[in-house]
Amino acid sequence: MSDAMRVVVACGGTGGHIFPAVAVVEQLMELTNGNCVPLFLGSRDRMETRLIPSLGYDFEGMPIEGFKGLSLSTLTLPLKILRSILVARRAIRRHKPHAVICTGAYISYPAGVAAALEGVPLIVLESNLNPGKSNARLVDRAAAVVLAFEESRTFYPAAVQPKLHVLGNPVRTQIDTSTTAHDARIWWGLDPNRETVLVFGGSLGARALNTVIENSLEAIGASSWQMIWQTGKGHAVQKPVPDNIRVVEFIDDMGAAFAAADLVVSRSGATTIAELGIVAKPAVLIPLPSASTNEQKHNAQVVARHGAAIMVENDHMRDQLLRTIEVLMNDHDHRRRMAQQMKELGRPNAARDAAKLIISTSSWKGATV
């Protein structure tokens, strides 16, 4: 391990923070010909505890947790932050990383502080348009900051501008863009010649979005297009489902789902927007109103300003969503222009470019890229 590139990666809480980190580590492994040894840090009771080891990576939990409002847990939060910084410092001293990578959320803060205290180059990955609370506090300590959007520069002071690198949001390579719409629709058991709308609310679905779709089933059944609808776990459809709709709890192959679609309706998380850019699909984006620092609305607004999507507010879905879908599905030229704009926003090499930046910023001298 002495000549390997070693990295400590702090990520967790949601897939939106975990998967960009994993995507970058996968590219680090490839760029170093497998000569990279990562250690992941995260919370002790969130999805990273199971997910990271299942991918074959070493994982160490920290006692850190997010702010949960005024409670006993809030009173002990400063202590947990200090304990987490100590855990991260011990991990850094033991692992001797050439770089520390933080992807945001509360999990990143103690690892970022520990990296600065131990004198290890810190690289911050910011997937959203506006910086999250932890990342904003780590920028001054960072050697480099990877941004997903050019417009994100406006959120940072002049002193840190030289650290900013607009490379896009890293996405794992599992999305196959070679499947044709015809073949994908057959795979889904749909009419291969009928235009298709893909609706999903993330891995867990979205209750408000599901409710609107379920209340619109009769109208969708009478439309000229068809639909793939991912409900997420825990949503049992109570109304009759028309033949032109495929309902699934979870989509394992997002490549096949995107390939089948002429229009995507979804939340506006950073990973979803990055994937839409790679597959160049026009979208109707519905920001999650409870997202921290309202980042989903910021994400949707910047994509809409580029003409790649239309934003519908969560509170206006009942009145506007189906009407917006109908207008777009009846206007092929508009969707084609949106798709072109989405393609221009896409950065399919973001993970590799971020990995190259991390290698060049790190203290590792094993190779040049």
Q: What pLDDT, on the 0 to 100 scale, is given for residue 363?
A: 95
- Long-range contacts (CB closer than 8 Å, 24 or more residues apart) made by 311-315: 311/268, 311/284, 311/285, 311/286, 311/287, 312/284, 312/285, 312/286, 313/286, 313/287, 314/208, 314/286, 314/287, 314/288, 314/289, 315/289
User: What digits encode the pLDDT tens for the residues 132-180?
Assistant: 889 999 999 999 999 999 999 999 999 999 999 999 999 987 688 889 9
Q: What percent of the chain has pLDDT over 70?
A: 93
Q: What pLDDT, on the 0 to 100 scale, is given for residue 1?
A: 52
pLDDT at residue 82 is higher than 70: yes
Region 39-57: mean pLDDT is 92
pLDDT at residue 340 is higher than 60: yes
pLDDT at residue 14 is higher than 90: no
Helices 350-361 and 15-31, packing angle to 10 deg: 70
Q: What percent of the chain has pLDDT over 90?
A: 79
Judge contact between 260 and 240, C-beta under 8 A: no
Which of the residue ranges 25-29, 57-61, 269-273, 292-296 would you say has the lowest mean pLDDT? 292-296
Q: What pLDDT, on the 0 to 100 scale, is given for residue 367?
A: 56
Sheet holding 226-230, edge to edge: 245-248, 226-230, 196-200, 263-266, 283-285, 309-311
User: What digits encode the pLDDT tens for the residues 255-285?
Assistant: 999 999 999 999 999 999 999 999 999 999 9
> In the structure, what pLDDT confidence band is assigned to residue 68 with cuts at 50, 70 and 90?
low
pLDDT at residue 203 is higher than 70: no
The phi and psi torsions of 310 (rounded to 5 degrees) equal -115, 130
> Do 5-171+348-361 and 181-345 fold alike per CATH?
yes
pLDDT at residue 80 is higher than 60: yes
> In the structure, what pLDDT confidence band is assigned to residue 66 with cuts at 50, 70 and 90?
low
Residue 245, strand partner residues: 227
> In the structure, what pLDDT confidence band is assigned to residue 205 with cuts at 50, 70 and 90?
low
Judge contact between 101 and 121, C-beta under 8 A: no
Mean pLDDT, rounded, of the chain: 92
Judge contact between 87 and 94, C-beta under 8 A: no
Q: Which residue has the tokens 């497998």?
A: 34
Region 199-224: mean pLDDT is 88
pLDDT at residue 52 is higher than 90: yes
Judge contact between 105 and 66, C-beta under 8 A: yes
Question: Alpha-carbon distance 369 to 277, whole Å?
Answer: 26
Question: Alpha-carbon distance 217 to 37, whole Å?
Answer: 50
CATH of 5-171+348-361, one of 3.40.190.170, 2.30.110.10, 3.40.50.2000, 3.40.50.300: 3.40.50.2000
Q: Which residue has the tokens 């947790």?
A: 65
Closest CA to 126 of 151, 110, 100, 103: 103
Give me the residue spans of the domains in the chain: 5-171+348-361, 181-345
Sheet holding 5-10, edge to edge: 58-62, 36-43, 5-10, 99-102, 122-126, 144-147, 164-166
Region 212-229: mean pLDDT is 97
Q: What pLDDT, on the 0 to 100 scale, is given for residue 172?
A: 83
Q: How far is CA 286 from CA 163, 234, 255, 321, in A?
A: 32, 20, 21, 9
Judge contact between 191 and 226, C-beta under 8 A: yes
Closest CA to 234 of 268, 207, 267: 207
Q: Is 219 helix (H, G, I), strand (E, B) or coil?
A: helix
Region 327-333: mean pLDDT is 98
Region 359-368: mean pLDDT is 86
DSSP string covering 71-108, please? SHHHHTHHHHHHHHHHHHHHHHHHH--SEEEE-SSTTH
Q: What pLDDT, on the 0 to 100 scale, is given for residue 138?
A: 97
The CATH architecture assigned to 181-345 reads 3-Layer(aba) Sandwich (3.40)
User: What digits encode the pLDDT tens for the residues 84-131?
Assistant: 999 999 999 999 999 999 998 889 999 999 999 999 999 999 999 999
Region 49-77: mean pLDDT is 79
